[in-house]
């Protein structure tokens, strides 16, 4: 215990819409403690609950490490933190946590943690395409750019929600004669347990199958994306057009980040994650389009979880050079 108390400790936090993970490491990247708490996306649970869960994660992680919750540096990668105002608000509140101190820390979007988990502090671009979508890139000299991720009302192209929305639109247009015939009408009407086009509004806004009397949640709607996949695999031309167009949107997100960061041709590296892009048929469609758009691009999946990326960012923030030895220690903790 005495040896630990004399060391400097760094904490990485990965905060999401369902849970929050905290990881404490020493200066050599060795795992010292960790904790799991409730959601900390302020858009999902509200700022008060998010902050309470963040504090709980820090305190529990410190307890598991056998230390007081006092850190040399910390990095908070939190989903839903998409602007400087939100980041500044959370930073001020975190700085005031009772019984917790950090010499320096940052609060940013969780894509930063994902990028570090995939590429360390080297240049790279990461693309998320799951329930939502977002693309973020960073260069070794610290330049950043991001595209998408502006909420499902505005911009989450090729997310599961977006695919489901496009599928529902195609089904309705096929039903009322505006669109081409498609098996999506039969499939989605069957799954929603409706027989008339006009019933869709009631199902979406008033009478969820999972929660009768309430609107369908974003996740419930996003789950319908799998039926667009089903229609595609059955050879439906409308479903094919939907997936092809959506994957082109993802490619545009990536190529824009690459262009803005001026990443030289032949050196681009892309990390991908999320249920849409990691599974077929979308994964294969995307890779083909991406490799045509950026010849020689290296496409990988993150080697480590985002909380480790947050710890990497905390170490770097604390002035620690991320050496191969440190990366080996971090990988060893999560092998």
Give the mean pLDDT of 236-247.
98
Q: Give Cα separations from 195 to 166, 171, 192, 258 (angstroms).
A: 19, 12, 9, 46
Residue where the block lists tokens 């700022």: 47
Q: Rounded CA gap, 174 and 182, in Å?
A: 7
Measured from the Cβ of residue 58, the count of other Cβ atoms closer than 10 Å reads 26
Residue 68 backbone phi and psi in degrees, to 5 = -80, 150
Q: Rounded CA gap, 43 and 226, in Å?
A: 26
Residue 57 backbone phi and psi in degrees, to 5 = -65, -40
pLDDT of residue 241: 98
Query: What share of the chain has pLDDT > 70, as a percent?
Result: 98
275 burial via Cβ count (<10 Å: 0-12, 13-18, 19+):
middle
Nearest to 44 by CA among 69, 23, 17: 17
Lowest mean pLDDT among 46-50, 103-107, 130-134: 130-134
User: Which domains are assigned to the chain?
Assistant: 2-109+304-333 (3.30.420.40), 122-302 (3.30.420.40)
More confidently predicted of 100 and 7: 100
Q: Using 50, 70 and 90 to split pLDDT, how confident is the model at 335?
A: low
Q: How far is CA 260 from the centre of its chain?
A: 21
CA torsion angle 314 318 320 325 (round to 10): -30
Number of H helices, E strands in the chain: 15, 10
Q: Which distant-in-sequence residues (6+ apart) come within 8 Å of 241 by Cβ? A: none
Q: Rounded CA gap, 127 and 113, in Å?
A: 12
Residue where the block lists tokens 């999972």: 210
Q: Rounded CA gap, 103 and 67, in Å?
A: 16
Give the mean pLDDT of 45-69.
96
Q: What is the pLDDT of residues 9-39, one digit of tens each?
A: 999 999 988 899 999 999 999 999 999 999 9
Stated pTM of the model: 0.88
Q: Are strands 124-129 and 269-273 parallel, antiparallel or unpaired?
A: parallel
């Amino acid at each position: 215990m005495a040896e630990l108390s004399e060391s400097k400790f760094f904490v990485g936090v990965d905060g999401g819409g369902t849970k929050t993970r905290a990881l404490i490491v020493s200066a050599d990247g060795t795992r010292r403690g960790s904790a799991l708490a409730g959601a900390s996306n302020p858009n999902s649970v509200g700022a008060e609950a998010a902050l309470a869960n963040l504090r709980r994660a820090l305190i529990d992680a410190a307890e598991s490490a056998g230390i007081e919750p006092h850190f040399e540096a910390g990095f908070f990668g939190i989903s839903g933190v998409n602007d400087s105002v939100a980041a500044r608000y959370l930073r001020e509140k975190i700085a005031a946590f009772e019984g917790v101190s950090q010499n320096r820390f940052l609060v940013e979007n969780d894509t930063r943690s994902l990028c570090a988990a995939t590429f360390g502090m080297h240049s790279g671009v990461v693309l998320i395409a799951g329930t939502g979508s977002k693309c973020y890139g960073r260069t070794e000299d610290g330049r950043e750019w991001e595209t998408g991720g502006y909420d499902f009302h505005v911009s989450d192209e090729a997310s599961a929600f977006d695919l489901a929305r496009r599928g529902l639109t195609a089904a309705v247009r096929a039903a009322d004669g505006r669109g081409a015939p498609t098996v999506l009408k039969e499939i989605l009407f069957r799954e929603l347990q409706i027989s008339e086009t006009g019933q869709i509004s009631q199902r979406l806004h008033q009478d969820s199958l999972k929660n009768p009397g309430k609107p369908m949640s974003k996740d419930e709607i996003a789950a319908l994306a799998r039926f667009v996949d089903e229609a595609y695999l059955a050879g439906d031309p409308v479903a094919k057009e939907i997936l092809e167009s959506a994957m082109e949107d993802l490619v545009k997100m990536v190529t824009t980040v690459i262009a803005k960061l001026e990443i030289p041709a032949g050196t681009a590296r892309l990390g991908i994650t999320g249920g849409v892009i990691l599974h077929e048929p979308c994964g294969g469609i995307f890779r083909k389009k991406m490799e045509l758009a950026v010849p020689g691009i290296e496409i990988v999946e993150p080697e480590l979880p985002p909380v480790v990326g947050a710890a990497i960012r905390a170490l770097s923030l604390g002035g620690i050079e991320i050496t191969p030895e440190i990366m080996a220690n971090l990988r060893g903790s999560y092998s």
